[in-house]
Amino acid sequence: MNFNLVTEYPLWFIIICIALGIAYAIILYYKETKNEFSSLLKVFMAVFRAMVIAIIAFLLLNPLIKTLSRFTEKPVIIYAQDNSLSLVTGSDSNYYRFEYQENMNNFLDNIASEYSVNKFAFGDRIDDEFNVDFTGKQTDFSILFHTLNEKYSHLNVGAMILASDGIYNKGLNPLYSSTEFDFPIYTIALGDTNVQKDIIINKINYNRIVYLGNEFPLEVIVNGNKCKDLNSRLMIYKDDSLLFQKRIYFNSENHFETVKLKLKSIEAGIQRYRIKLTPIEGEISTANNYQDIFIDVLEGRQKILLLANSPHPDISAIKQVVQTNRNYEIEDFIIDDFDGEILSYNLLILHGLPSADNPIQDILEKVKTEQIPVLFILTRQTGLTFFNDQKAGISIGGENVIYNEALPVVNDDFSLFELSEGTIQSLMYFSPLVSPYGSISLQPSANTFLYQKIGVVKTSEPLFLFNQTLDAKTGVILGSGIWKWRMMNFSKEGNHEAFNEIINKTIQYLSIKVDKSFFRVFNKNNFFENEDIEFDAEVYNESYELITDPEVTITINASDDKKYPFVFYKTSNSYYLNAGSLPVDNYTFFAHVQAGDQILTDAGEFTVSALNIEKINTIADHNLLYNLAERRGGEMIFPDQFDELAEKIKSREDIKTISYNQKRYSEILNFPLLLVLIIVLLSAEWFMRKRAGSY
């Protein structure tokens, strides 16, 4: 470490500072006429006083100390271990639990002397403590790569070692999510690429919400590997009652079969069904022979009325979505042909209404009075003045409102409902809507679902929003042409799933009545077993203002009567609870709070579903690992080649220790020793004067 003294003034100013000190000392002591001090004592006191004055004068120049430090940084080796369940589902599970981990730890100890080794275990989340127990319910390479990029983008990373079976079932393809790395990636190919004898419930397609008394469809996709000429029995249970069974014959080594059936909903509430395959002899794993599903059975169907100012393809697109959902029934009319009563409907969809020719004031008055939720779809025919009067969460003003083509962009902070990852990706290629552009004003209660993208510019203007007040809910699509979304969805994906999900979730959210109680608890109906159980709660006073003074408690009850009591945490204007993860089961909860003299309560139910996705596909994808290593400048090795991997890393010339210099400037005024020196010098001078009998 080198030190240099620098100042913004020329260094010869130091001579002036010394001269000032000497001059002051001469004036003070040389012309001293009382002869109180001896000559030697005068010299010492003069020297001390000269040093003090010179130091103080020098400090007025605001000098700095420049330090030049040299640092070395060993290369970082990142070791990322796949901690998901798929690695221990097969017959070699003991190898990965014991022998492999011993070899891995020996390898890491071997390279730790030359490199800075950072270890991570990942599955559906990142474990910084490197607790390798193979319990991850999903494998997400994206979250791993994103975390590493944030932590190590500024460090000397020599290489990353990724030990995995290459199976991922969440997030982006690792070949694409690793493109930001500028260091080599070595992969350790774990797992078994051989197809083992196994029967699997591959997927279950079902509606999560059905209505009481209706039949609902169920599709069970069964897969049999190396099970030719064998058979199993597919059985479906509700609680302990057997509802359906069918014998499955496996007539090929890779047999797929889709079993379609219908069940009848005979009990309201969340119902649990178990779909099960009887095991066969020699099967590698029976953990993927069953799955539990949970269906919310409601007591009535929702009626929807769609009124349009004129015929339009959007009307047909919406109808086709609603008609495929047995939870809803829809009627549509051109406004001039409608003479019915809107009070019997749960949701009103207005396309191009209110318009200048049809302000529909009577209908809108009934909507306000009866608090019927409305979805407005704005077109060129919409009378914006009449629309603005509805206070739907947004108003569009201006003398010259024009219409632009606006692409949809998802608001990442939107939380009223969740879209699947596939639908979010599909929205990126959806066609633009013809949207009004003017002076837009949003109400504080509005919640934007989609933003507008004009050309390549993402704006903060809403394209699709929701608004909820104490009285009712409204939704607004600022543009016509959603029929093109449906067509584009089919063109790209061969289905309408993304478009259907958007419309269905919009209708589901709007058609649920607004809760006006003074105490509300919010939660999802279904959680996976690797998710934390989260609740939000709100408490209102008599003026319907949010309060957080009283304590909110909740008791969660399992089906075996086991109870889990909790107390909510208070936030700025509401309450929050993270109850952690719970076992797979049906749960009910009862929450209460004492607000003043009143005891307010709320109750509900939810389910925790098993997540068996890691048990469905157990065939390792070493091809993906090879391509990942090849693209990132590394190599793929196998678990018995740890010694070779260590040599490969040590032989690379681009993985080396780096050194760098760091300059630092510090003010001398910040050094306390200078103050101590000045005090010591002045104290010594004072002491000598006092000892000589002066003052």
Residue with tokens 């909860």: 589
E-assigned strands of 74-174?
76-82, 116-122, 126-127, 157-164
- Domains 198-298 and 519-609 alike in fold: yes
Q: What is the pLDDT of residues 594-605, one digit of tens each?
A: 988 889 999 988
Distance in angstroms (rounded) separating the CA atoms of residues 91 and 104: 20
The continuous run of DSSP H or E covering 125 comes out as none
Residue with tokens 């584009």: 488
Q: What is the pLDDT of residues 256-266, one digit of tens each?
A: 889 999 998 88
Sort 259 into a burial class: Cβ within 10 Å, 0-12 / 13-18 / 19+. Answer: middle
pLDDT of 172 over the 90 cut: no
| Short-list 33, 46, 21, 30, CA closest to 689 | 46
Residue with more model confidence, 287 or 159: 159
Exposure string of 642-674, with b = 16+ CB inside 10 Å and e = fewer, is beebbebbeeeeebeeeeeeeeeeeebeeeeee
Confidence of residue 32 (pLDDT cuts 50, 70, 90): low
Confidence of residue 495 (pLDDT cuts 50, 70, 90): very high
pLDDT of 607 over the 90 cut: no
pLDDT of 70 over the 90 cut: no
Confidence of residue 387 (pLDDT cuts 50, 70, 90): very high
Q: What is the pLDDT of residues 119-130, one digit of tens each?
A: 998 888 887 788
Residue with more model confidence, 661 or 200: 200
302-511 topology per CATH: Rossmann fold (3.40.50)
Beta-carbon contacts of 679 under 8 Å, excluding residues fewer than 6 positions away, are none
Q: What is the pLDDT of residues 550-571, one digit of tens each?
A: 999 999 999 888 999 999 999 8
Q: Is the CB of residue 678 less than 8 Å from the CB of residue 55?
A: yes
Distance in angstroms (rounded) separating the CA atoms of residues 122 and 221: 29
Q: Helix, strand or coil for residue 346?
A: coil
Distance in angstroms (rounded) separating the CA atoms of residues 636 and 619: 17
Q: Is the CB of residue 313 less than 8 Å from the CB of residue 341?
A: no
How many Å from the N-terminal Cα to the C-terminal Cα in the chain?
A: 46
Q: Is the CB of residue 87 less than 8 Å from the CB of residue 134?
A: yes
Q: What is the mean pLDDT of residues 340-350?
A: 90
pLDDT of 335 over the 60 cut: yes
Q: Helix, strand or coil for residue 92?
A: coil
Distance in angstroms (rounded) separating the CA atoms of residues 219 and 257: 10
The continuous run of DSSP H or E covering 365 comes out as helix 361-370
Q: What is the mean pLDDT of residues 380-397?
A: 91
Distance in angstroms (rounded) separating the CA atoms of residues 146 and 269: 40
Confidence of residue 1 (pLDDT cuts 50, 70, 90): low
Q: What is the mean pLDDT of residues 188-192?
A: 86
Percent of the chain with pLDDT over 70: 95
Distance in angstroms (rounded) separating the CA atoms of residues 97 and 228: 32
Q: What are phi and psi of 54, to 5 degrees?
A: -65, -40
Q: What is the mean pLDDT of residues 320-341?
A: 88
Largest Cα separation within the chain, whole Å, is 125
In CATH, the number for domain 198-298 is: 2.60.40.10
Distance in angstroms (rounded) separating the CA atoms of residues 403 and 385: 16
Q: Name beta bridge partners: 279.
A: none
Superfamily of domain 75-191+619-656: von Willebrand factor, type A domain (3.40.50.410)
Least confident residue range of 199-203, 321-325, 635-639, 670-674? 670-674
Q: What is the mean pLDDT of residues 197-217?
A: 83
Distance in angstroms (rounded) separating the CA atoms of residues 623 and 165: 10
Identify which of 85-99, 560-574, 658-672 has the greatest average pLDDT: 560-574
Q: Give, as one character, the DSSP assignment of residue 431.
A: P
Which amino acid, residue 55? I
Q: What is the mean pLDDT of residues 42-46?
A: 78
Which amino acid, residue 410? V
Distance in angstroms (rounded) separating the CA atoms of residues 142 and 148: 10
Please tell me the predicted confidence (pLDDT) of residue 695.
54
pLDDT of 268 over the 90 cut: no
Please tell me the predicted confidence (pLDDT) of residue 182.
84
In CATH, the number for domain 519-609 is: 2.60.40.1220
Least confident residue range of 90-94, 470-474, 684-688? 90-94
Q: Give, as one character, the DSSP assignment of residue 134.
A: -
Pairing mode, strands 302-308 and 347-351: parallel
DSSP 308-335: ESS--HHHHHHHHHHHT-TTEEEEEEEG
Per-residue CA distances from 661 to 459, 666, 686 (Å):
44, 16, 46
E-assigned strands of 610-657?
636-637
Tokens of 82: 């796949």
Distance of CA 422 to the CA centre of its chain: 16
Distance in angstroms (rounded) separating the CA atoms of residues 692 and 382: 103
Distance in angstroms (rounded) separating the CA atoms of residues 17 and 539: 71
Q: Is the CB of residue 295 less than 8 Å from the CB of residue 282?
A: no
Angle, helix 497-511 to helix 482-493, in steps of 10 degrees: 140
Q: What are phi and psi of 482, to 5 degrees?
A: -70, -15
- Residue-level length of the chain: 695
Distance in angstroms (rounded) separating the CA atoms of residues 262 and 374: 33
Residue with tokens 């058609």: 511
Calculate the dihedral angle through the C-alpha atoms of 247, 249, 254, 257, rounding to the nearest 10 degrees. Answer: -50
Percent of the chain with pLDDT over 90: 31
Q: Is the CB of residue 589 less than 8 Å from the CB of residue 565?
A: no
Mean confidence (pLDDT) of the chain: 85
pLDDT of 484 over the 90 cut: yes
3-state DSSP of 17-75? HHHHHHHHHHHHHHCCCCCCCCHHHHHHHHHHHHHHHHHHHHHCCCCEEEEEEEEEECC
Q: Is the CB of residue 386 less than 8 Å from the CB of residue 354?
A: yes
pLDDT of 151 over the 60 cut: yes
Q: What are phi and psi of 566, to 5 degrees?
A: -145, 160
Distance of CA 326 to the CA centre of its chain: 32
pLDDT of 356 over the 80 cut: yes
Map out the domains of the chain as residue ranges. 2-69+664-691, 75-191+619-656, 198-298, 302-511, 519-609
